Amino acid sequence: MPAKMFALAASALIAGAGLAKAQAPTPDRVQLQANAAALRDQALKGSPAYPFLRDLTTEIGERLAGSQKEHLAAQWAVARLKAMGFQNVHIESFPVPGWTRGEERAELISPSVQKLMVTSLGNAGATPPEGIEAPVALFHTYADMLAQPVGSLSGKIVIVTQPMVRAQDGSGYGALAVMRFLGAAEAEKRGAVAYLVRSLSTSDSRLPHTGATDFPPGMAPIPAGALSVPDAEQIDRLSADPSLKGQPLRMHLVLTPTFKPGATADTVVADVVGRERPDEVVLIGGHLDSWDLGTGAIDDGAGAAITTAAAKLILDMPRAPRRTVRLALFGAEEINFAGPAFAAVRSAAEQSHYVIAAECDFGAEPVYGVALPTGAAKTPYGAMLAEAIAPLPAYVDRAPARGGGEDVEPLSPHVPLAELQQDGTHYFDIHHSADDTLDKVDPHRMDKAVAAWVAFTYLAADSDVDFRAKPSSP
C-alpha cells in the first residue's frame, strides 16, 4: 500500500476508534445484539419455515386468487397460526375478479405447421371455443410494437419476443414486466385480436410462464398469453429464415379463460403482541395466493413460510418484544389487489403506528443485503443489524430501500419500507410456471433467509429505533 494511502487508512482507523469509544454500546444494546444473534443462530439450526411450506404446498397445492383453493389456504393458515400460538388471528376478505384458466392451445399454420406451448395471462379475455385464426404481427422488442400507430395491427395476433436479462436482483424482470402487464391493452388499442408475449423467464424450459395483464376500465379484454422461451425463439428463427421469406406467419389460437362475478380473496393476519408498546407495529409477511400452474412453492409459499418462521421464533422468546410484530399472509398479490385492499381498511392514523413494513416475495434463497429507509443504515439500529447478519453473510445496504414489496407499497405514504434482498439469480427460471414446486426449495438455504428476517424484525420490534422520524441533516 502506498505511504499516502496507508496514512489515510490509519487516520480513518483512529477516527473510527474514537467514534466507537464515544458511542460505546449501552447494556440494552448489548442485550439486543445478543438476542438477535441467538435468534439468527436458532434459525440456522432449523426453523419452522420448511414444514410450513411443505404442508401448505402438499395439503392445499395451487392457490389461484379468488378460487376455492385460495379460501382453503386461508382457513389452513388460520388453523396453523393459532396452533403455533399467534394472537389476533383473523381473515380479511375483499372482492377480486374471479378469473379461471381454460383451454390453452396454439399452433403455427404458416409458414410451417408447429404446435406451441402457451398459457393464458391472468385477467385476459378468451377466444371463441373453436379459437381464432389470424396473421401474426411479430415484434422483437416491446418498443417496436408501441411504435405502431393506432389501428395498424387490425385483425392480427401480436407477438413480442423480447428476451429477459438474468440478474441477481431481478432487475431484468422489472425492466420488461410492462410488456406482459400492459402489452395486451396496447396491442388492442392498435387493433390486435390477441396478444402473445415471450415468457418473462430466464429458463430454457419449454414450460410457459404466466402472470397478470391489465386493461383500462371500459376496455373489453382480448385473449392474451405467454409463449415458452424456446417457442418464442423458434418463431424468431422462422421469421428470419431466408428460405421462408415472403411466407407470412399465421396462427391458430385457443385460450378460453372465464370470469366469475362476486369472487373474493383472503388476507390472513396474526400478531405477536408487544409488551410495552403494542400499538406500534412492525409488519412483515408474504403472499398466500399463487398461480395455478405449479404449487406456488417459491412464489410465494416460501415468503409466507420465511416470515411466519421469523415471527414464530420471536413469539417463542421468553419475553415479547416491546412492539407488536404483525404477520400478514396476503391474498391476491398476483393480480395486484392485496396491497390496496390491506391499506384501504387502515386509516392514515392507524398506519402512522406502523414502524416499518417489508414483504418477502422473492423465493427461498438467502438474503444478501438489507435496504432500510433513508438514513436508517447509519443509526445504531443499522449497526446492530449489520453485526447480526454479517455471518450469514449479508450486509446493510448503504442505499435506501426503493420499495418493500407489492403488498406493502400502498402503505408507503405513511409507513417506512424496507427491502430484504434475496438472491434471485435463478428465481425467474421457475417463477409463474408449472415448475414452481416444493422440490426446488433447499430447506437449509431457506433457513438462511429466515435468519436475516428474524434479526431484522426482532431488532425493529424490541429497540427504540423509529424509522418514521425524518433523518437529521448532516
Domain extent for 336: 26-96+263-462
What is the Cβ-side half-sphere exposure of residue 271, based on CA atoms within 13 angstroms?
14
pLDDT at 314 over 50: yes
Helix (H) or strand (E) segment spanning residue 432: none
38 with 113, same domain: the answer is no
Calpha distance 385→453 (Å, rounded):
10
| Residue 7 domain-assigned (yes or no) | no
pLDDT per residue over 75-127, tens digit each?
A: 999 999 999 999 999 999 999 999 999 999 999 999 999 999 999 999 999 99
CA distances from 338 to 194, 285, 344 (A): 28, 12, 10
- Say whether pLDDT at 30 is over 60: yes
Question: Edge to edge, what strands does the sheet with 395-396 contain?
Answer: 395-396, 367-371, 419-422
CATH number of the domain residue 336 falls in: 3.40.630.10
Residues 335-364: what's their mean pLDDT? Answer: 97
The structure's pTM equals 0.93
List, for residues 363-399, the tens digit of each pLDDT value.
999 999 999 999 999 999 999 999 999 999 999 999 9
Q: In the chain, count of helices (H) and strands (E)?
A: 14, 18
By mean pLDDT, which of 208-217, 234-243, 284-293, 325-334 is the weakest? 234-243
Q: Which of 257, 278, 299 is the last residue of a domain?
A: 257
Last residue of a domain, one of 231, 257, 283: 257
The whole-number average pLDDT for the span 211-222 is 97
Residues annotated as part of the active site: 333
DSSP secondary structure code for residue 356 in this structure: E
Residues 212 and 290: their CA atoms lie apart, in Å, by: 11
C-alpha distances in Å from residue 140, one per residue of 144, 161, 194, 254, 440: 7, 5, 17, 23, 31
Query: Is 198's pLDDT higher than 70?
Result: yes
CA distance 57 to 435: 13
Domain count, the chain: 2
Q: Tell me phi and psi for residue 282, to 5 degrees.
A: -105, 115
Both 121 and 86 in one domain: the answer is no
pLDDT for 24: 56
Give pLDDT tens digits for 227-284.
Answer: 999 999 999 999 998 887 778 999 999 999 999 999 999 999 999 999 999 999 999 9
Q: HSE-up of 164 (CA within 13 Å, CB side)?
A: 32
Q: Are residues 288 and 418 in the same domain?
A: yes
Is the per-residue pLDDT at 16 higher than 60? no
Whether residue 21 is contained in a domain is answered as no
Compute the mean pLDDT over every residue in the chain, rounded to the nearest whole number: 93
In a domain, 470, yes or no: no
Give the pLDDT of residue 12.
34
Q: How far apart are CA 148 and CA 169, in angstroms?
A: 32
- Please check the confidence at residue 351 and state whether its pLDDT lies above 60: yes
Residues 250 and 177 in one domain: yes
Instruction: Give the pLDDT confidence score for residue 39 in this predicted structure.
Output: 98
Please indicate, yes or no, whether residues 376 and 231 belong to a single structural domain of this protein: no
Query: CA 295, 299, 303, 304 torsion: positive or negative?
Result: negative
In the chain the first and final C-alpha atoms are separated, in Å, by 31
Rounded Cα distance, 116 and 320, in Å:
55
Check residue 5 and give its pLDDT. 33
**Element (DSSP H or E) covering residue 152:** none
Residues 365 and 438 in one domain: yes
Within a domain: 8: no
Axis crossing angle, helix 27-45 with helix 380-389, rounded to the nearest 10: 30
